[in-house]
Amino acid sequence: MENLALIESFSEFKDDKSIDRVTLMAILEEVISATLRKRFGDDDSFSIIINPDKGDMEIWHNRIVVEDNEVEDPYKQISLTEAQKIEPDFEVGEEVSEEFKLADLGRRDILALRQNLVSKVYEHDSSNIYKHFKELEGEIFTAEVHHIRHNAVILLDDDGNEIVLPKTEQIKSDFFRKGDNVKGVIKFVELKGNKPNITLSRTDPRFLVKLFEQEIPEIFEGLITIEGVARIPGEKAKVAVDSYDERIDPVGACVGMKGSRIHGIVRELGNENIDVINFTKNENLFIQRALSPANVISVKIFPEKRRDGKKGRVEVYLKPEEVSKAIGKNGVNIKLASILTGYDIDVQRETIDDEDVELAEFSDEIEAWVIKEFQRVGLDTAKSILDQSVADLVNRTDLEEETIIDVQRILKEEFEG
């Protein structure tokens, strides 16, 4: 009973930790073995018997019976006279097992044992917390503000785990009070000593992706995929989406009727402006879409392998009045387009020839939907189309080669006539 009482006193703190009885008893066995080795040089002469179901443990000291004058190691040997006090029938060469009481270790060793046990339990608990949150890296997580520091907000989850939201991972407009629930993604988890350090982020691009997954059922179900994200937290973001189902309009599904679906995401991100664009493998067309709301006249791509990860550079040509739209306030729009496409983008102004003719004037000869498709990619004059090769126009638009050839024939006749 003495051992059981001591075990209960050692394990009284376990209820506050995520540790079960079986694990606790295994840790206790390890700690007691270490204590015995330190006290007696080794633990070979001791048997530790664990009963996890009852939460009990027995320690037996095993010694060999020797003649009274031949005891060399009292921890491994016992004299015949002493052995026969325990059991009269013992003879030389037999093994004597005698129950060992933890209390016999003395107060100092028991205190050391307790400290070691506490340390091992906390280490085990920290390891479990680390593993749990490591699996949550990149996932959305919500926790409550516990206190606010100059350079970070300290959060606590429902289990009392501490999570740090550094100032650098906060959106500029973020403002928190104690007790507020804060949402973000687990950016990374690391062990500092034996303590897990959990960092939350609201600026990581993965936060935007996860919010889209939460708010847009088609993304969660895999009907729509997010192909790229570029973000300046708190200001603006561009998200490229695609769908393998032609019946689904990926942009329309993400934005929702009158912006109903995306509104919740914008509000969570401090009114961050979000452009959702259709992804395409046609890089020429994708660059044009990435620069929306600007209408691009033409694009020249100069691919190259670069150490910074960029795929090269492009020159985009726009009407003078479109240049400011392409660049955006403080250069935000062009910066995001560059991140999204993987190219450095140079903007070039293109002047309109006085002898040029608006494409809309050919409505009698060219179908309205064809004119609209050219206008959609910034080609709204006759010469802007004639200056492009058929191959370039096929890449930039969704028109067939035959249609483009026919349009160019009509436009050439205008200038030749």
* pLDDT tier for residue 1 given thresholds of 50, 70 and 90: very low
Block residue for tokens 């709301």: 293
Q: Other CB atoms closer than 10 Å to residue 54's CB: what's the count? A: 10
Give the pTM: 0.61
Question: Which residues lie below 8 Å from residue 207, measured CB to CB, with a gap of 6+?
Answer: 140, 184, 185, 201
**Range 114-130 average pLDDT:** 75
Q: For 358-413, how does the pLDDT look when each residue is reduced to its tens digit (9 = 90+)?
A: 888 888 889 999 998 888 877 878 888 888 889 888 888 889 999 999 999 988 88
Helices 205-215 & 260-268, crossing angle to 10 degrees?
140
Q: For 319-372, how does the pLDDT look when each residue is reduced to its tens digit (9 = 90+)?
A: 878 888 898 888 999 999 999 999 999 988 776 555 778 888 888 889 999 998
Q: What is the DSSP secondary structure assignment for residue 203, as one 8-state letter?
A: S
* Per-residue tokens: 331: 């250069």
Q: What is the mean pLDDT of the chain?
A: 85
* Per-residue tokens: 315: 């020159």
Q: For 243-290, how does the pLDDT look when each residue is reduced to its tens digit (9 = 90+)?
A: 988 889 999 999 988 888 899 999 999 899 999 999 999 999 999 999
* Per-residue tokens: 132: 């749990």
Pairing between strand 77-79 and 56-66? parallel
**What is the rounded CA–CA span in Å between residue 216 and residue 220?**
7
